[in-house]
Amino acid sequence: MPRASAWFEAYATLSTAMMLLQTAINQFIPVSVRSYIMSRLKSFFFGIGTGTVADVSNSLVTLTIPEVWENMGRNKLYDAVKEYLPSKISSANKNLRVGVGGGKKIAMEIEGEGSIVDVFDNITLTWSCSEYQRGSPIQPYARPVYVLTLSFNEKHREKVMDSYLPHIMNKHKVVKKGKKVLKHYTRRSGVWQSSALEHPATFDTVAMEPALKNAILDDLDRFLRRKSFYKKVGKAWKRGYLLCGPPGTGKTSLIVAMANYLKFDVYDLELSGVHSNADLMMSLRNTSNRSILVVEDIDCNIEVQDRSGEDGNRALNHQFKRFTLSCLLNSIDGLWTKGSDERIIVFTTNHKDQIDPALLRPGRMDMHINLSFCTINGFRILASNYLDVQSHPLFEPIDRLLKKLQVTPAVVAEELMKNDDVDVVLSKFINFLERKEMGGDGMKDIAHNINAHLLPKRKESIAFLLLVTCSLSPAAEDKDKRAAPLRFLQLFQLFVSLFSSRY
Ligand X SMILES: Nc1ncnc2c1ncn2[C@@H]1O[C@H](COP(=O)(O)OP(=O)(O)OP(=O)(O)O)[C@@H](O)[C@H]1O
The footprint of ligand X (CB under 6 A) covers 205-208, 245, 247-253, 409-410, 413, 452
- Minimum distance of ligand X from residue 279's CB (angstroms): 25
Q: For ligand X, which is the closer residue by CB, 166 or 200?
A: 200
Q: How far is the CB of 401 from ligand X (least distance, A)?
A: 18
**Chain residue at closest Cβ approach to ligand X:** 250
Shortest Å distance, C-beta 257 to ligand X: 9
d(CA 120, CA 219): 43
For ligand X, the closer CB: 165 or 257? 257
Which residue, 249 or 471, is less far from ligand X as judged by CB?
249
Query: 436, 469 in Cβ contact below 8 A?
Result: no
To ligand X, the closest distance from the beta carbon of 314 in angstroms equals 34
Tell me how far apart the terminal alpha carbons of the chain are, to the nearest angstrom.
Answer: 110
CB of 320 to ligand X, least distance (A): 27
Q: Which is nearer to ligand X, 270 or 310 (CB)?
A: 270
How does DSSP assign 172-234, residue by residue?
Answer: HHHHHHH-S-EEEEEEETTEEEEEEE-----TTTS-S-HHHHHHHHHHHHHHHHTHHHHHHTT
Report the SS3 class of residue 433: helix
Q: State which residue, 110 or 220, has the beta carbon closest to ligand X.
A: 220
How is the beta sheet containing 145-153 ordered, strand by strand? 60-66, 145-153, 123-132, 115-120
Nearest distance from C-beta of residue 347 to ligand X, angstroms: 12
Contact between 119 and 48 (Cβ < 8 Å):
yes
Amino acid symbol at 139 = Q
Task: Judge contact between 186 and 270, C-beta under 8 A.
Answer: yes
CB of 397 vs ligand X, minimal distance in Å: 22
Alpha-carbon gap, residue 262 to 63, rounded angstroms: 35
CB nearer ligand X, residue 77 or residue 254: 254
Complex with ligand X: residue 274 or 382, whichever CB lies closer: 382
What is the residue-wise DSSP string for 365-380?
S-EEEE--S--HHHHH
